Amino acid sequence: MGLFDFFKSDIKKLSIDLSDYKFLSDNHTRIENGRTVNANNQGAWRGIRIKTSDNCTFYVTMYNMDGNHPIWGNNIQMAEKRMKLVNESSEKIILRGYGTDAIGASFADYGITLHKANGDVRKITLHMHDRNIDIVYDKAENSKRLETTNQYSDFDNFKVFTHKWNTSMSNEEKFSIAFQTDAANNKGVVAFNNGNIALAIKYYEEALSIMPNNDDALKNLRVCYSKIGNYTKAGECRRKLDYLGD
């Protein structure tokens, strides 16, 4: 077992890999106060993306996949929500929002349930707890469309985010993102200075899940991976920094 494997050994294992999980739906049902109010949305393409580096903190974003969406960085329908694991069983994985965004809106108003069958997620329910609304998204079976959503690398998504940051994001969006990413990066610095490289990696990865082009977090993460001998990961950070001109 390598040093990095040792650091990862205490991370909770889930039955579904949610490190960068993409779920594509072509039909959904809206339920309000326990009553179905919209039962047929066949052809309404939606994407749900879940990211985590530690299976403790999850970041959930929803996309409207209709129209021009070459990479899952466009057409955001639900902005990223921070969630935590509530429960996992043989049939479900349940996540619930926690904390607040930069303007004080509660993430706890949201949650999702991944419904499993035969080791696969067949549908996902988005819960809007404050409004007593559930939206059930059925898994799309169009293999060609599914291939399109999975052919892009982490570096491609990093480039898309960087382009959006430089060209189309409002100052309000940038402030909210910067506030959250700096908080996570600063926690990583404290952990690193205390000699806890595993915890530092967790926080730097969290910072980059919020803002992939955070050059400070990329530099810090590169140092951590170099120290533990994971030169592949360190090289990925270096490639992104080169792209940013750092």
At a CB cut-off of 8 Å and minimum separation 6, what does 23 contact? 47, 48, 49, 50, 114, 121, 124, 137, 139
**Average pLDDT of the segment spanning 20-32:** 91
* Average pLDDT score, the chain: 85
The pLDDT > 90 percentage for the chain reads 50
62 closest CA partner among 16, 101, 112: 112
Domains in the chain, CATH or no CATH each: 11-150 (2.40.128), 157-244 (1.25.40.10)
- State residue 159's pLDDT score: 85
* Residues 62-81 pLDDT 10s: 888 765 444 444 567 888 89
- State residue 67's pLDDT score: 55
Instruction: Report the alpha-carbon distance of residue 244 to residue 155 in Å, rounded.
Output: 12
pLDDT band at 2 (very low <50, low <70, confident <90, very high): very low
* Residues 188-237 pLDDT 10s: 999 999 999 999 999 999 999 889 999 999 999 999 999 999 888 899 99
- State residue 6's pLDDT score: 39
pLDDT band at 143 (very low <50, low <70, confident <90, very high): very low
- State residue 44's pLDDT score: 84
96 closest CA partner among 153, 140, 106, 105: 106
Instruction: Report the alpha-carbon distance of residue 80 to residue 58 in Å, rounded.
Output: 10
Instruction: Report the alpha-carbon distance of residue 25 to residue 146 in Å, rounded.
Output: 10
Instruction: Report the alpha-carbon distance of residue 122 to residue 74 in Å, rounded.
Output: 24
Is 59 within 8 Å of 30 (Cβ atoms)? no
Asked whether the predicted pLDDT for residue 38 surpasses 80, the reply is no
